[in-house]
Structure 1
Amino acid sequence: MASSLIIVCIAAFAAGFIDAVVGGGGLVQTPAMLITFPNAPVASLLGTVKIPSFCGTAVSAYQYSKRIDIRWKLIVWVALAAFSAAMFGSYMVSVLNNGILKPIILCVLVLVALFTYTRKTLGQQHDEIPYTEALWKGIAAGLLIGFYDGFIGPGTGSFLVLVFITIIGHDFMHASAHAKMINLATNLASIIYFSFTGNIMFELAIPMAICNMAGGWAGTKMALLKGNRFIRIFFLLVVTGTIIRFAYDIFFR
């Protein structure tokens, strides 16, 4: 048990670092849990990783908020929409087979990667759209991505970053900061649902949360230090990793 705990704690630190920069830490943390504890109920493993994800994201969000001007008037409404949709998505995990959506998500991710790679200036300029327009676009995106996070999960942070860049007009730095706030809401919704259904193993969740927070602190410091260009490259790496993950799930499992 001790060696297994060390493995998932290392994965939690790495996930916290990745999440802090651009999201997508679930690509490391969730598979590590599934591989290390193959006999545990999947719902319990998925519920358990939400605790460290939330804690690490909270540290990152706090660090970003000290350096980035957060649009709280917008974020609160988008977060509420994402929270509600994530709660519904978590419930639907027990009703529907999320495998039916994976081929669609894979195609979307490939397009996201190509779009980001070919648009060299994407996310380099900060030019926000008016509040009213940002509000209804943000709520619509929050509902869609919130449901996705509760239902499937991996890559949620990357999708949120892309939304804030392409729809709201943020640069990578501001998009990452605002994405953390929404991710907090979706993680909290899943934690509440999985807690009520008894699917959180706190003996794993607590030490993993400490490691995830440490990774989140380190990742945020790195992102703020290196700036938009570093985050863009990291974004492409995470999206590519997500594509590989989904392709493996679809074609080799």
Structure 2
Amino acid sequence: MELEIVCLLVAAAVCAGFVDAIAGGGGLLTLPALLMAGLPPAEAIATNKLQGTFGVAASSFAFWRAGHIDFAELAPAVAAAAAGAVLGSLAVQWIDPAWLRRAVPVILLVVAAYFAFAPQLGSGDRKARLGRTAFALGAALPIGAYDGFLGPGTGSMLLIAFIALYGADLMAAIAGTKLLNFTSNIVSLAVFAAVGNVNYRVGLAMAAGQILGAQLGARAAMVHGAPLIRPLVVVVSIAIAVSLILRG
């Protein structure tokens, strides 16, 4: 892959790390970018996991250091997200790449639409509709499986689930999202690495951009919150999905 393309992918990773640290959805930028750079679907997903893991690890650490992550409270959800990620990552190995390439823009548009029309995030405490175990099985497990299978929009889905289903306030929801997203990323990355799908040269270069963007985004999230980035996620995800459809 040419140096110019790698540099553009690193720039996309910086933006994605910033976006993902605030409201999720960073994969809406990086996965389509990897596909447009010419990586096969399975390799693009695996490489996206590598670079994304560094970003979400950096933002998780920032939120943990600020005292926003309760590991004991989130333990069932973490375990469920890990189990789901294993199932999703294994499923990718059996999917026809041509079908997967056609499915990516459709899923991007669905996630963007849901994110655009969902109730406003972070407007205060909400009533919990699910307990710890029910949330783990009903939200963390399937979203973790989706993250292992494809990934873009996982952070957005988790953020909405924490607020709408678990009754978390904005900062707790963002912090919990980071921890679960890191869990599903690191588990699915291990599966992809075992079957040899990861492009380490591209993934590690993008990881440096992810770390920078995640640190900046986590700081912005603690000051401004999700409304800072929500419109950008919607517009960019739709634009990239349309671009992929036209290229197909």
TM normalised by structure 2 equals 0.86
For residues 26-41 of structure 1, the aligned pairs below 5 Å read 26-36=27-37, 38=38, 40-41=39-40
For residues 159-170 of structure 1, the aligned pairs below 5 Å read 159-170=157-168
The alpha-carbon deviation at position 139 of structure 1 amounts to 3.0
- 2:218 partner amino acid: T
For residues 34-183 of structure 1, the aligned pairs below 5 Å read 34-36=35-37, 38=38, 40-96=39-95, 97-98=99-100, 106-107=109-110, 109-116=112-119, 119=120, 122-127=121-126, 129=128, 133-183=131-181
- 1:19 partner amino acid: D
The alpha-carbon deviation at position 103 of structure 1 amounts to 5.2
2:230 to 216, 230, 235: 235
* 251 and 76 in structure 1: CA distance in 2 versus 1, 3 angstrom threshold: farther
* 52 and 168 in structure 1: CA distance in 2 versus 1, 3 angstrom threshold: same
Identical pairs, percent:
30
2:24 paired residue number: 23
The alpha-carbon deviation at position 140 of structure 1 amounts to 1.6
Equivalent pairs counted in the alignment come to 243
- Between 12-21 and 106-115, the greater mean CA deviation after superposition: 106-115
The alpha-carbon deviation at position 101 of structure 1 amounts to 9.0
The alpha-carbon deviation at position 205 of structure 1 amounts to 1.8
> Any unmatched runs of 5+ in structure 1?
none
- 2:26 partner amino acid: G
Conserved 8 A contact 1:24-1:158: yes
The alpha-carbon deviation at position 168 of structure 1 amounts to 1.1
Conserved 8 A contact 2:68-2:171: no
Q: What SS does structure 1 have at the residue aligned with 2:135?
A: helix
- 1:14 partner amino acid: C
Conserved 8 A contact 2:81-2:144: yes
* 114 and 175 in structure 1: CA distance in 2 versus 1, 3 angstrom threshold: same
Conserved 8 A contact 1:172-1:232: no
- Between 213-222 and 104-113, the greater mean CA deviation after superposition: 104-113
1:202 paired residue number: 200
Conserved 8 A contact 1:16-1:216: yes
* 198 and 68 in structure 1: CA distance in 2 versus 1, 3 angstrom threshold: same
Matches of 2:3 and 2:246 in 1, distance apart? 34
Conserved 8 A contact 2:115-2:156: no
* 166 and 179 in structure 1: CA distance in 2 versus 1, 3 angstrom threshold: same
Conserved 8 A contact 1:68-1:177: no
TM normalised by structure 1 equals 0.84
Conserved 8 A contact 2:92-2:149: yes
Matches of 1:61 and 1:81 in 2, distance apart? 18
- 2:232 partner amino acid: L
1:163-187 CA distances to partner (integer Å, 9 max, x unpaired)? 0111111222221111000001111
* 207 and 107 in structure 1: CA distance in 2 versus 1, 3 angstrom threshold: closer
* 217 and 111 in structure 1: CA distance in 2 versus 1, 3 angstrom threshold: closer
Q: What SS does structure 2 have at the residue aligned with 1:200?
A: coil
> Any unmatched runs of 5+ in structure 2?
none
2:4 paired residue number: 3
The alpha-carbon deviation at position 70 of structure 1 amounts to 1.9
1:165-217 CA distances to partner (integer Å, 9 max, x unpaired)? 11111222221111000001111122111111111122222222111101110
Q: What SS does structure 1 have at the residue aligned with 2:217?
A: helix
